[in-house]
A and B are shown apart, each in its own frame.
Chain A
Amino acid sequence: MSYQFDFSFLAERWPDFVAGAWLTIQLTVLSIGLGFLVGTVCALVRVYGGAAPRRLVGFYVEMIRNTPLLVQIFIVYFGLSSIGLKLSAETAAVIALAVNMGAYTTEIMRAGIQSIQRTQLEAADCLGLTRLQAIVHVVLLPAMERVYPALSSQFVLLMLASSITSQISAEELTAVANNVQSDTYRSFEVYIVVAVVYLGLSVLYRFGFWAIGLVLFARKRRLGTAL
């Protein structure tokens, strides 16, 4: 093999990569936040809701979890615009990622919520907590603490999956790589650089979620053990 590696494009194009990585961070933080909200509400419905809403949530979850993200992104971006709803690539990307995230979060949070025993809710009643207080403090936070490892690795997976939004020309990291490689013909080197950036981002995200976990879960912070 007599291939000469040439990373000289970095000298000129590094600001593009930084901008791409920044957009990746923005897109994913936004869609993780939205998706987490959707998923948490859906999980509550799935456990405590009536029969019809429960089935509806089940339908949503199975639909999303059994089709590829790529196709979901195409439906949101090309599909919705063809029936009159024009969205920018970035908006479509956030919607598709959030809808996707929501389905996975529903399943994870459902497992967490189901692990909270009924007696906990009865105890909350006895203490005079309102319905909302009971749900937030007695159900959701402990449920989240139990499934937090699964939840945070799903968040990291979503960050990696956001690379797929390059296919609808949302100018995030992978799209920047596609542009740079078509200008410089240094495809292999470009994707090596981007792979390293993604590795760095996933380390950063893991560290971030670990830190958020410490802030959120006082018990874990003090005792060092999970619930």
Chain B
Amino acid sequence: MIQLNSNHLLYLVTAAQWTVLLSLIAFAGGALVGLPIALMRVSKVAALRLVASAYIQLIQGTPLLIVLFLSYFGLGIMGYKLAPLVAAGVALTLYAAAFLGEIWRGCIEAVPRTQWEASDCLGLNRFQQYAYVVLPQAMRIAIPPTVGFMVQIVKNTSLASVIGFVELARAGQIVNNSTFEPFVIFVVVGAIYFVLCYPLSLAARALERKTNAGR
């Protein structure tokens, strides 16, 4: 049995970099897919609204763990032999897109109706309305809940460990397999996650206070 030493800690911190990378991939992918989802949800076309809300219901009604397995094995049978990073990235993107789409829909709807009417009067077309009037205002409302959701993304990357992607949680299991000190190791792993997540939580709270300062 090997004693827990500083090399193990170094290994955990190195693995935490993969957690950060996977979080960034998930957030970027989620934002890229989530924005169209949000816009579809507030579209004038009923079919688009229906597709987007079906997607959201589907993802929000199944555990992320199952989405991960489906992405891992599903991409596998389509003939892509993929690195776990890609499968995890795809699953987390699908997951983040559903939640970000729903959050951002709320933010777009929170822009006062009169802004739409005023931009109609100015003769702006639909694209101009979004680009110059609605989205800039919605973005300000969206920042605090989006930062808050990033905490969820960081925590949920831990599930990528089950398909064999060596990020922080998996690294903790590996170290535990050689040292058999699960209590210490998983508390340390938890502490590293905390260090990653807590600043985001604090930032979300501070931003929220700032946004609501006028009220």
Closest to B71 in A: A191
Query: Which one of A10-18, A64-72, A130-138 contacts B?
Result: A64-72
A66 and B198 contact, Cβ closer than 8 Å, known pairs A72-B190, A75-B186, A198-B61: yes
Check: A160 CB closer than 8 A to any chain B CB.
yes
Main secondary structure of the interface of B (DSSP, over half): helix
The answer for the CA separation of A151 and B193 in the assembled complex, in Å, is 25
Interface membership of B118, Cβ < 8 A: no
B207 CB-CB contact with A under 8 Å: no
CA distance A66 to B197 in the complex (A): 5
Give the shortest distance, in Å, between A98 (CB) and chain B (any CB).
Answer: 17
Q: Does B49 contact A (CB under 8 A)?
A: no
Q: Is the CB of B73 within 8 A of A167?
A: no
- Contact assessment for A82 and B180 in the assembled complex, using a CB-CB cutoff below 8 Å: yes
A149 at the interface (CB under 8 A from B): no
CA distance A102 to B25 in the complex (A): 31
CA A81 – CA B176 in complex, angstroms? Answer: 14
Majority SS at the chain A contact face: helix
Query: Do A66 and B194 touch across chains, with their CB atoms under 8 A apart?
Result: yes
Question: If the complex has contacts A79-B182, A82-B182, A161-B63, are A68 and B155 also in contact, measured as CB distance less than 8 A?
Answer: yes
Contact B183 A79, beta carbon cutoff 8 Å: yes
Residue of B64, B70, B76, B186 with most chain A CB atoms under a 10 A cut-off: B186
27 contacts between A and B (CB under 8 A): A62-B198, A62-B201, A66-B151, A66-B155, A67-B190, A67-B194, A68-B156, A68-B190, A68-B193, A71-B172, A74-B182, A74-B186, A74-B189, A75-B190, A79-B186, A79-B187, A81-B182, A82-B180, A82-B182, A167-B162, A174-B65, A187-B69, A188-B70, A188-B76, A191-B73, A192-B70, A195-B70
B: which residues have CB within 8 A of A? 58, 60-67, 69-70, 73-74, 76-79, 151, 155-156, 158-159, 161-162, 169, 172-173, 176, 180-183, 186-187, 189-190, 193-194, 197-198, 201
